[in-house]
Structure 1
Protein backbone atom coordinates (compact mmCIF):
# COMPACT_ATOMS: atom_id res chain seq x y z
CA UNK A 1 0.00 0.00 0.00
CA UNK A 2 1.23 3.51 -0.81
CA UNK A 3 -0.01 7.09 -0.59
CA UNK A 4 -0.17 9.19 -3.76
CA UNK A 5 0.15 12.86 -2.84
CA UNK A 6 0.47 15.21 -5.80
CA UNK A 7 1.25 18.77 -4.78
CA UNK A 8 1.75 19.89 -1.20
CA UNK A 9 -1.21 18.27 0.58
CA UNK A 10 -0.53 17.01 4.07
CA UNK A 11 -0.65 13.24 4.54
CA UNK A 12 -3.17 12.31 7.29
CA UNK A 13 -1.64 10.88 10.48
CA UNK A 14 -3.23 7.44 9.91
CA UNK A 15 -1.27 7.10 6.63
CA UNK A 16 2.14 8.51 7.62
CA UNK A 17 3.78 5.10 8.02
CA UNK A 18 3.16 4.30 4.33
CA UNK A 19 5.47 5.13 1.42
CA UNK A 20 4.52 8.40 -0.29
CA UNK A 21 4.56 8.86 -4.06
CA UNK A 22 4.67 12.55 -4.98
CA UNK A 23 4.80 12.01 -8.74
CA UNK A 24 1.84 9.99 -10.08
CA UNK A 25 4.04 8.84 -12.98
CA UNK A 26 6.40 6.78 -10.81
CA UNK A 27 5.76 3.61 -8.84
CA UNK A 28 1.98 3.40 -9.16
CA UNK A 29 2.00 -0.18 -10.38
CA UNK A 30 4.37 -1.39 -7.63
CA UNK A 31 1.61 -1.50 -4.99
CA UNK A 32 -1.59 -3.48 -4.46
CA UNK A 33 -3.52 -0.48 -3.05
CA UNK A 34 -3.07 3.24 -3.64
CA UNK A 35 -4.47 5.95 -1.40
CA UNK A 36 -4.84 9.20 -3.33
CA UNK A 37 -4.73 12.27 -1.06
CA UNK A 38 -6.12 15.20 -3.03
CA UNK A 39 -8.86 16.45 -5.30
CA UNK A 40 -10.89 14.55 -7.89
CA UNK A 41 -8.46 15.67 -10.62
CA UNK A 42 -5.66 13.91 -8.68
CA UNK A 43 -7.73 10.72 -8.45
CA UNK A 44 -8.56 10.98 -12.16
CA UNK A 45 -4.85 11.39 -13.03
CA UNK A 46 -3.97 8.22 -11.10
CA UNK A 47 -6.80 6.22 -12.69
CA UNK A 48 -5.81 7.48 -16.15
CA UNK A 49 -2.25 6.21 -15.55
CA UNK A 50 -3.55 2.84 -14.33
CA UNK A 51 -5.89 2.56 -17.33
CA UNK A 52 -3.05 3.28 -19.77
CA UNK A 53 -0.80 0.78 -17.97
CA UNK A 54 -3.60 -1.83 -18.11
CA UNK A 55 -3.51 -2.13 -14.29
CA UNK A 56 -7.12 -1.68 -13.20
CA UNK A 57 -6.52 -4.59 -10.81
CA UNK A 58 -4.94 -2.14 -8.32
CA UNK A 59 -7.27 -0.95 -5.53
CA UNK A 60 -7.63 2.83 -5.24
CA UNK A 61 -8.89 4.85 -2.27
CA UNK A 62 -9.57 8.59 -2.33
CA UNK A 63 -8.94 10.72 0.76
CA UNK A 64 -10.09 14.33 0.67
CA UNK A 65 -10.45 14.75 4.45
CA UNK A 66 -8.29 13.30 7.26
CA UNK A 67 -11.13 11.27 8.81
CA UNK A 68 -11.34 9.20 5.59
CA UNK A 69 -7.81 7.79 6.04
CA UNK A 70 -8.74 4.83 8.28
CA UNK A 71 -11.42 3.71 5.84
CA UNK A 72 -8.92 4.00 2.96
CA UNK A 73 -6.56 1.57 4.73
CA UNK A 74 -8.99 -1.13 5.77
CA UNK A 75 -12.18 -1.06 3.70
CA UNK A 76 -12.86 -3.62 1.00
CA UNK A 77 -12.65 -2.57 -2.63
CA UNK A 78 -15.55 -2.96 -5.05
CA UNK A 79 -15.47 -2.72 -8.81
CA UNK A 80 -17.34 0.33 -10.11
CA UNK A 81 -17.71 1.68 -13.66
CA UNK A 82 -14.78 3.67 -15.00
CA UNK A 83 -15.80 6.61 -17.20
CA UNK A 84 -13.30 7.95 -19.73
CA UNK A 85 -13.27 10.09 -22.83
CA UNK A 86 -12.06 9.33 -26.35
CA UNK A 87 -8.49 10.33 -25.38
CA UNK A 88 -8.35 7.77 -22.56
CA UNK A 89 -8.64 10.40 -19.81
CA UNK A 90 -10.72 9.33 -16.80
CA UNK A 91 -13.28 11.47 -14.96
CA UNK A 92 -14.31 10.77 -11.37
CA UNK A 93 -16.43 13.80 -10.47
CA UNK A 94 -17.89 15.59 -13.51
CA UNK A 95 -17.19 16.76 -17.03
CA UNK A 96 -18.79 19.67 -18.85
CA UNK A 97 -19.45 20.69 -22.40
CA UNK A 98 -19.53 24.49 -22.35
CA UNK A 99 -19.97 27.21 -24.98
CA UNK A 100 -16.82 28.58 -26.60
CA UNK A 101 -15.58 31.96 -25.45
CA UNK A 102 -17.85 34.69 -26.77
CA UNK A 103 -20.76 32.26 -27.29
CA UNK A 104 -23.84 31.84 -25.10
CA UNK A 105 -24.78 28.33 -26.18
CA UNK A 106 -23.43 25.11 -27.66
CA UNK A 107 -24.76 24.41 -31.14
CA UNK A 108 -25.02 20.81 -32.25
CA UNK A 109 -26.43 17.52 -31.09
CA UNK A 110 -25.78 15.34 -28.05
CA UNK A 111 -27.06 11.86 -27.25
CA UNK A 112 -26.83 9.43 -24.35
CA UNK A 113 -26.82 5.92 -25.80
CA UNK A 114 -29.76 6.25 -28.26
CA UNK A 115 -31.68 8.99 -26.42
CA UNK A 116 -31.30 12.62 -27.57
CA UNK A 117 -29.96 14.97 -24.90
CA UNK A 118 -30.37 18.03 -27.13
CA UNK A 119 -30.56 18.86 -30.83
CA UNK A 120 -29.98 22.50 -31.71
CA UNK A 121 -28.72 24.66 -28.85
CA UNK A 122 -27.95 24.10 -25.17
CA UNK A 123 -26.57 26.33 -22.42
CA UNK A 124 -24.17 23.62 -21.17
CA UNK A 125 -24.06 19.88 -20.40
CA UNK A 126 -22.85 18.09 -17.26
CA UNK A 127 -21.68 14.45 -17.39
CA UNK A 128 -21.18 12.44 -14.18
CA UNK A 129 -19.87 8.91 -13.60
CA UNK A 130 -22.14 6.59 -11.63
CA UNK A 131 -21.06 3.91 -9.17
CA UNK A 132 -23.54 1.48 -10.74
CA UNK A 133 -24.50 0.45 -14.25
CA UNK A 134 -25.08 1.76 -16.86
CA UNK A 135 -22.07 3.92 -15.88
CA UNK A 136 -22.83 7.60 -16.42
CA UNK A 137 -25.53 10.22 -16.56
CA UNK A 138 -25.79 13.53 -18.40
CA UNK A 139 -28.04 16.57 -18.28
CA UNK A 140 -28.49 19.82 -20.14
CA UNK A 141 -27.97 22.68 -17.68
CA UNK A 142 -30.31 25.64 -17.34
CA UNK A 143 -29.14 29.24 -17.43
CA UNK A 144 -28.46 28.94 -13.69
CA UNK A 145 -26.32 25.84 -14.34
CA UNK A 146 -28.88 23.47 -12.81
CA UNK A 147 -29.63 20.10 -14.44
CA UNK A 148 -32.93 19.97 -16.28
CA UNK A 149 -33.33 16.20 -16.74
CA UNK A 150 -30.78 13.43 -16.18
CA UNK A 151 -30.39 10.66 -18.74
CA UNK A 152 -28.39 7.57 -17.73
CA UNK A 153 -26.48 5.42 -20.16
CA UNK A 154 -23.20 3.86 -21.19
CA UNK A 155 -22.02 6.75 -23.38
CA UNK A 156 -22.64 10.47 -23.95
CA UNK A 157 -21.61 11.91 -27.31
CA UNK A 158 -21.51 15.44 -28.71
CA UNK A 159 -21.19 16.73 -32.25
CA UNK A 160 -20.94 20.52 -32.39
CA UNK A 161 -19.63 23.58 -34.18
CA UNK A 162 -17.35 24.01 -31.16
CA UNK A 163 -17.49 23.48 -27.40
CA UNK A 164 -15.12 23.71 -24.46
CA UNK A 165 -14.56 20.42 -22.65
CA UNK A 166 -13.80 20.48 -18.91
CA UNK A 167 -12.77 17.27 -17.11
CA UNK A 168 -12.88 17.27 -13.29
CA UNK A 169 -12.23 21.02 -13.23
CA UNK A 170 -9.47 20.93 -15.87
CA UNK A 171 -10.34 22.63 -19.18
CA UNK A 172 -9.02 21.10 -22.40
CA UNK A 173 -6.74 23.51 -24.26
CA UNK A 174 -8.75 23.75 -27.52
CA UNK A 175 -12.44 23.75 -28.41
CA UNK A 176 -13.74 20.39 -29.62
CA UNK A 177 -16.07 19.61 -32.52
CA UNK A 178 -16.68 16.10 -31.20
CA UNK A 179 -16.49 14.73 -27.69
CA UNK A 180 -17.52 11.48 -26.03
CA UNK A 181 -17.52 10.09 -22.50
CA UNK A 182 -18.24 6.43 -21.98
CA UNK A 183 -18.00 3.50 -19.59
CA UNK A 184 -14.78 1.57 -20.13
CA UNK A 185 -15.05 -2.18 -20.66
CA UNK A 186 -13.49 -2.79 -17.22
CA UNK A 187 -14.29 -0.91 -14.02
CA UNK A 188 -11.86 0.24 -11.33
CA UNK A 189 -11.45 -1.10 -7.81
CA UNK A 190 -12.82 1.65 -5.56
CA UNK A 191 -12.12 1.48 -1.84
Structure 2
Protein backbone atom coordinates (compact mmCIF):
# COMPACT_ATOMS: atom_id res chain seq x y z
CA UNK A 1 0.00 0.00 0.00
CA UNK A 2 1.20 3.50 -0.81
CA UNK A 3 0.68 5.85 2.14
CA UNK A 4 0.48 9.62 1.78
CA UNK A 5 0.15 11.70 4.94
CA UNK A 6 -1.00 15.27 4.42
CA UNK A 7 -0.29 17.37 7.51
CA UNK A 8 -2.45 20.44 7.07
CA UNK A 9 -0.93 22.99 9.42
CA UNK A 10 -0.22 20.09 11.79
CA UNK A 11 3.58 19.60 11.93
CA UNK A 12 3.39 18.53 15.59
CA UNK A 13 2.14 15.05 14.66
CA UNK A 14 5.27 13.07 13.83
CA UNK A 15 4.85 9.48 15.05
CA UNK A 16 3.74 7.10 12.30
CA UNK A 17 5.67 4.10 13.57
CA UNK A 18 2.53 1.93 13.86
CA UNK A 19 3.07 0.94 10.22
CA UNK A 20 6.17 -0.79 8.93
CA UNK A 21 5.80 0.48 5.36
CA UNK A 22 7.25 3.82 4.31
CA UNK A 23 5.09 6.91 4.74
CA UNK A 24 5.25 9.92 2.43
CA UNK A 25 4.72 13.04 4.54
CA UNK A 26 3.68 16.36 3.01
CA UNK A 27 3.24 19.56 5.00
CA UNK A 28 0.45 21.71 3.57
CA UNK A 29 -1.46 24.87 4.53
CA UNK A 30 -4.46 24.67 6.88
CA UNK A 31 -6.77 24.57 3.84
CA UNK A 32 -4.73 23.29 0.89
CA UNK A 33 -5.29 24.69 -2.59
CA UNK A 34 -5.61 22.80 -5.86
CA UNK A 35 -1.93 23.47 -6.53
CA UNK A 36 -0.98 22.10 -3.10
CA UNK A 37 -2.95 18.93 -3.84
CA UNK A 38 -1.28 18.11 -7.15
CA UNK A 39 0.64 15.50 -5.16
CA UNK A 40 -2.51 13.39 -4.80
CA UNK A 41 -3.28 13.72 -8.52
CA UNK A 42 0.21 12.43 -9.29
CA UNK A 43 -0.01 9.59 -6.76
CA UNK A 44 -3.40 8.47 -8.11
CA UNK A 45 -2.05 8.43 -11.68
CA UNK A 46 1.02 6.45 -10.61
CA UNK A 47 -1.15 3.83 -8.90
CA UNK A 48 -3.96 3.72 -11.49
CA UNK A 49 -2.94 5.34 -14.80
CA UNK A 50 -6.06 4.00 -16.53
CA UNK A 51 -9.43 3.48 -14.83
CA UNK A 52 -11.12 0.42 -16.42
CA UNK A 53 -14.45 0.93 -14.65
CA UNK A 54 -17.50 2.84 -16.00
CA UNK A 55 -17.15 6.63 -16.10
CA UNK A 56 -19.45 9.00 -14.21
CA UNK A 57 -21.38 9.68 -17.43
CA UNK A 58 -21.84 5.96 -18.00
CA UNK A 59 -23.00 5.40 -14.43
CA UNK A 60 -25.52 8.25 -14.72
CA UNK A 61 -27.04 6.61 -17.81
CA UNK A 62 -27.61 3.27 -16.10
CA UNK A 63 -31.32 2.39 -15.86
CA UNK A 64 -31.18 1.38 -12.19
CA UNK A 65 -30.12 3.41 -9.14
CA UNK A 66 -27.99 0.79 -7.44
CA UNK A 67 -25.17 3.31 -7.22
CA UNK A 68 -27.34 5.45 -4.92
CA UNK A 69 -28.30 2.72 -2.45
CA UNK A 70 -26.04 1.24 0.24
CA UNK A 71 -22.50 2.67 -0.13
CA UNK A 72 -20.15 0.28 -1.90
CA UNK A 73 -16.44 -0.51 -1.93
CA UNK A 74 -14.92 1.20 -4.98
CA UNK A 75 -14.81 -1.09 -8.04
CA UNK A 76 -11.30 0.11 -8.85
CA UNK A 77 -8.87 -2.34 -7.28
CA UNK A 78 -5.34 -1.31 -8.28
CA UNK A 79 -2.50 -3.70 -7.59
CA UNK A 80 -1.10 -1.17 -5.11
CA UNK A 81 -3.69 0.46 -2.85
CA UNK A 82 -3.45 4.20 -2.29
CA UNK A 83 -4.31 5.57 1.15
CA UNK A 84 -4.33 9.30 1.83
CA UNK A 85 -4.30 10.32 5.48
CA UNK A 86 -5.45 13.88 6.12
CA UNK A 87 -4.37 15.49 9.39
CA UNK A 88 -6.19 18.75 10.04
CA UNK A 89 -9.62 20.34 10.14
CA UNK A 90 -12.86 19.42 8.42
CA UNK A 91 -12.12 22.24 5.95
CA UNK A 92 -8.78 20.62 5.09
CA UNK A 93 -10.50 17.27 4.57
CA UNK A 94 -13.15 18.93 2.39
CA UNK A 95 -10.42 20.39 0.17
CA UNK A 96 -8.84 16.94 -0.28
CA UNK A 97 -12.17 15.22 -0.97
CA UNK A 98 -13.09 17.97 -3.43
CA UNK A 99 -9.86 17.46 -5.34
CA UNK A 100 -10.32 13.69 -5.45
CA UNK A 101 -13.94 14.07 -6.56
CA UNK A 102 -13.15 16.52 -9.35
CA UNK A 103 -10.36 14.27 -10.64
CA UNK A 104 -12.65 11.22 -10.27
CA UNK A 105 -10.18 9.51 -7.93
CA UNK A 106 -12.57 8.70 -5.08
CA UNK A 107 -11.41 5.08 -5.20
CA UNK A 108 -8.46 6.17 -3.04
CA UNK A 109 -8.76 5.24 0.64
CA UNK A 110 -9.06 8.17 3.06
CA UNK A 111 -7.90 8.25 6.65
CA UNK A 112 -8.62 11.29 8.81
CA UNK A 113 -6.92 12.56 11.95
CA UNK A 114 -8.94 15.51 13.27
CA UNK A 115 -7.13 18.50 14.74
CA UNK A 116 -9.55 20.53 16.85
CA UNK A 117 -13.35 20.20 16.85
CA UNK A 118 -14.58 18.02 13.98
CA UNK A 119 -18.11 17.20 12.89
CA UNK A 120 -16.74 14.66 10.41
CA UNK A 121 -14.92 12.79 13.20
CA UNK A 122 -18.13 12.69 15.26
CA UNK A 123 -20.16 11.51 12.26
CA UNK A 124 -17.75 8.64 11.63
CA UNK A 125 -17.05 7.76 15.27
CA UNK A 126 -13.32 8.45 14.99
CA UNK A 127 -11.15 8.39 18.13
CA UNK A 128 -10.58 11.69 19.90
CA UNK A 129 -7.18 10.67 21.24
CA UNK A 130 -4.43 11.63 18.79
CA UNK A 131 -2.33 8.44 18.79
CA UNK A 132 -5.47 6.30 18.46
CA UNK A 133 -6.73 8.41 15.56
CA UNK A 134 -3.36 8.15 13.76
CA UNK A 135 -3.25 4.37 14.24
CA UNK A 136 -6.78 3.95 12.89
CA UNK A 137 -6.14 6.22 9.89
CA UNK A 138 -3.00 4.28 8.95
CA UNK A 139 -4.12 0.73 9.75
CA UNK A 140 -7.91 0.72 9.84
CA UNK A 141 -10.41 -0.76 7.44
CA UNK A 142 -12.38 1.11 4.81
CA UNK A 143 -16.15 1.41 5.39
CA UNK A 144 -17.72 3.38 2.50
CA UNK A 145 -20.15 6.23 3.11
CA UNK A 146 -22.09 8.50 0.73
CA UNK A 147 -20.20 11.53 -0.54
CA UNK A 148 -22.29 14.70 -0.43
CA UNK A 149 -21.39 17.63 -2.68
CA UNK A 150 -22.85 20.94 -3.76
CA UNK A 151 -23.53 22.34 -7.23
CA UNK A 152 -20.19 24.16 -7.15
CA UNK A 153 -18.45 20.77 -6.98
CA UNK A 154 -17.35 21.15 -3.35
CA UNK A 155 -17.40 18.02 -1.18
CA UNK A 156 -18.79 18.17 2.35
CA UNK A 157 -16.62 16.49 4.96
CA UNK A 158 -18.54 17.29 8.15
CA UNK A 159 -21.38 19.75 7.58
CA UNK A 160 -22.78 22.57 5.48
CA UNK A 161 -25.17 25.42 6.23
CA UNK A 162 -27.56 27.63 4.29
CA UNK A 163 -28.27 30.99 5.92
CA UNK A 164 -29.04 34.58 4.99
CA UNK A 165 -26.00 36.43 3.63
CA UNK A 166 -26.21 39.06 6.35
CA UNK A 167 -26.89 38.06 9.97
CA UNK A 168 -30.59 37.55 10.57
CA UNK A 169 -33.43 35.24 9.69
CA UNK A 170 -33.51 33.57 6.30
CA UNK A 171 -35.93 34.41 3.52
CA UNK A 172 -36.45 31.54 1.14
CA UNK A 173 -37.40 27.92 0.68
CA UNK A 174 -35.37 24.79 1.45
CA UNK A 175 -36.53 21.37 0.29
CA UNK A 176 -35.09 17.93 1.12
CA UNK A 177 -36.17 15.58 -1.68
CA UNK A 178 -39.92 16.33 -1.79
CA UNK A 179 -40.23 17.58 1.81
CA UNK A 180 -40.38 21.32 2.50
CA UNK A 181 -37.95 21.92 5.35
CA UNK A 182 -38.23 25.73 5.32
CA UNK A 183 -40.56 28.18 3.64
CA UNK A 184 -40.06 31.48 5.41
CA UNK A 185 -39.88 35.24 5.07
CA UNK A 186 -37.62 37.01 7.55
CA UNK A 187 -39.27 39.29 10.07
CA UNK A 188 -38.30 42.95 10.25
CA UNK A 189 -37.25 42.56 13.87
CA UNK A 190 -35.28 39.36 14.31
CA UNK A 191 -36.57 37.20 17.18
CA UNK A 192 -34.44 35.43 19.75
CA UNK A 193 -35.49 32.16 18.19
CA UNK A 194 -36.62 32.03 14.61
CA UNK A 195 -35.80 30.47 11.24
CA UNK A 196 -32.12 31.15 10.55
CA UNK A 197 -31.43 28.51 7.93
CA UNK A 198 -30.61 24.83 7.69
CA UNK A 199 -27.67 22.59 8.48
CA UNK A 200 -26.89 19.30 6.78
CA UNK A 201 -24.51 16.47 7.55
CA UNK A 202 -23.62 13.46 5.40
CA UNK A 203 -25.13 10.18 6.58
CA UNK A 204 -23.35 6.84 6.90
CA UNK A 205 -25.87 5.15 4.61
CA UNK A 206 -28.54 5.90 2.02
CA UNK A 207 -30.18 8.23 1.22
CA UNK A 208 -27.15 10.37 2.15
CA UNK A 209 -28.25 13.74 3.59
CA UNK A 210 -29.59 14.53 7.06
CA UNK A 211 -30.81 18.10 7.58
CA UNK A 212 -32.34 20.20 10.34
CA UNK A 213 -33.63 23.74 10.71
CA UNK A 214 -31.48 26.18 12.73
CA UNK A 215 -33.50 28.22 15.20
CA UNK A 216 -30.60 30.46 16.27
CA UNK A 217 -27.72 32.04 14.31
CA UNK A 218 -24.39 30.36 13.78
CA UNK A 219 -21.69 31.50 16.21
CA UNK A 220 -20.50 34.90 15.03
CA UNK A 221 -23.66 35.67 13.06
CA UNK A 222 -25.00 38.14 15.59
CA UNK A 223 -27.07 41.01 14.13
CA UNK A 224 -25.67 44.43 14.92
CA UNK A 225 -28.88 45.42 16.72
CA UNK A 226 -27.82 43.20 19.60
CA UNK A 227 -31.13 41.37 19.85
CA UNK A 228 -29.62 38.00 20.68
CA UNK A 229 -28.03 36.29 23.64
CA UNK A 230 -24.80 34.45 22.90
CA UNK A 231 -25.82 32.21 19.95
CA UNK A 232 -25.62 28.45 20.36
CA UNK A 233 -26.41 27.24 16.84
CA UNK A 234 -29.06 24.97 18.34
CA UNK A 235 -31.49 23.12 16.12
CA UNK A 236 -35.14 22.14 16.14
CA UNK A 237 -35.12 18.32 16.39
CA UNK A 238 -38.63 17.93 14.97
CA UNK A 239 -37.38 19.41 11.67
CA UNK A 240 -35.05 16.45 11.05
CA UNK A 241 -35.28 15.29 7.41
CA UNK A 242 -33.29 12.91 5.24
CA UNK A 243 -32.95 12.61 1.49
CA UNK A 244 -30.66 12.29 -1.48
CA UNK A 245 -30.79 15.99 -2.39
CA UNK A 246 -31.40 19.35 -0.72
CA UNK A 247 -32.32 22.47 -2.67
CA UNK A 248 -32.65 26.06 -1.53
CA UNK A 249 -33.78 29.30 -3.09
CA UNK A 250 -33.85 32.84 -1.75
CA UNK A 251 -32.74 36.37 -2.60
CA UNK A 252 -29.53 36.48 -0.50
CA UNK A 253 -28.20 33.11 0.60
CA UNK A 254 -24.85 32.38 2.23
CA UNK A 255 -23.44 28.88 1.71
CA UNK A 256 -20.84 27.50 4.10
CA UNK A 257 -19.13 24.13 3.68
CA UNK A 258 -17.16 22.96 6.71
CA UNK A 259 -17.00 26.52 7.98
CA UNK A 260 -15.79 28.06 4.71
CA UNK A 261 -18.20 30.57 3.17
CA UNK A 262 -18.62 31.09 -0.55
CA UNK A 263 -17.23 34.44 -1.60
CA UNK A 264 -20.52 35.64 -3.08
CA UNK A 265 -24.16 35.33 -2.12
CA UNK A 266 -26.36 33.09 -4.23
CA UNK A 267 -30.06 32.85 -5.03
CA UNK A 268 -30.15 29.07 -5.26
CA UNK A 269 -28.07 26.06 -4.30
CA UNK A 270 -28.31 22.29 -4.48
CA UNK A 271 -26.59 19.66 -2.35
CA UNK A 272 -26.79 16.06 -3.47
CA UNK A 273 -25.24 12.63 -3.24
CA UNK A 274 -22.36 12.08 -5.63
CA UNK A 275 -22.35 9.01 -7.91
CA UNK A 276 -19.16 7.71 -6.27
CA UNK A 277 -18.97 6.74 -2.59
CA UNK A 278 -16.31 7.90 -0.16
CA UNK A 279 -13.83 5.18 0.85
CA UNK A 280 -13.31 6.33 4.43
CA UNK A 281 -11.34 4.53 7.13
CA UNK A 282 -13.51 4.34 10.24
CA UNK A 283 -14.40 1.92 13.04
TM-score tier by shorter-chain length is: over 0.9
Structure 1 gap ranges (5+): none
Residue of structure 1 equivalent to 2:247: 157
Structure 1 distance, partners of 2:156, 2:242, is 16
1 CA distance for matches of 2:211 and 2:146?
Answer: 15
Separation in 2, partners of 1:19, 1:89: 26
- Cα separation, 2, equivalents of 1:59 and 1:94: 20
- The aligned counterpart of 2:235 is 147
> C-alpha deviations, 1:140-188, integer Å up to 9, x for none?
1113532212101101110101111111011111111111111101111
Q: Does the CA contact (< 8 Å) of 1:124 and 1:145 recur in 2?
A: no
Secondary structure of residue in 2 paired with 1:19: strand
Counterpart Cα distance in 2 of 1:145 and 1:35: 30
1 or 2, which has the higher strand percentage? 1
Q: Is the 8 A contact 1:111 1:117 kept in 2?
A: yes
- Whole-angstrom distance in 2 between the partners of 1:110 and 1:15: 48
After superposition, the C-alpha distances for 1:4-42 in whole angstroms (9 at most, x for unaligned) are 112244234126951112344122141600010001111
Spell out the pairing of 1:29-44 with structure 2 (5 A cutoff).
Answer: 29=41, 30=43, 32-44=82-94
SS class of match (2:235): coil
8 A Cα contact 2:161 2:200, kept in partner: yes
**Corresponding residue of 1:187:** 277
Q: Determine if the alignment matches structure 1 residue 129 to structure 2 residue 174.
A: no
Structure 2 unaligned segments of length 5 or more: list them. 29-35, 45-81, 115-129, 186-194, 217-231
How far, CA to CA, are the matches of 1:104 and 1:71 in structure 2?
41
Matched-pair contact (CA < 8 Å) for 2:10–2:87? no
The CA deviation string for residues 37-67 of structure 1, in whole angstroms up to 9 with x for no partner, is 0011111111100001110110000012332
Q: Please provide the CA RMSD for this pair.
A: 1.7
- For the Cα contact (< 8 Å) 2:10–2:88, is it kept in 1? no
Partner SS, residue 51 of structure 1: helix
Partner of 1:3: 5
Q: Deviations over 1:59-89 (max 9, x none)?
A: 0000123321111111111221000000110
The residue aligned with 1:83 is 148
Match of 2:259 in 1: 169
Residues paired across the two proteins, number:
190
Structure with bigger gyration radius: 2
Contact 1:12 1:66 in 2 (8 A): no
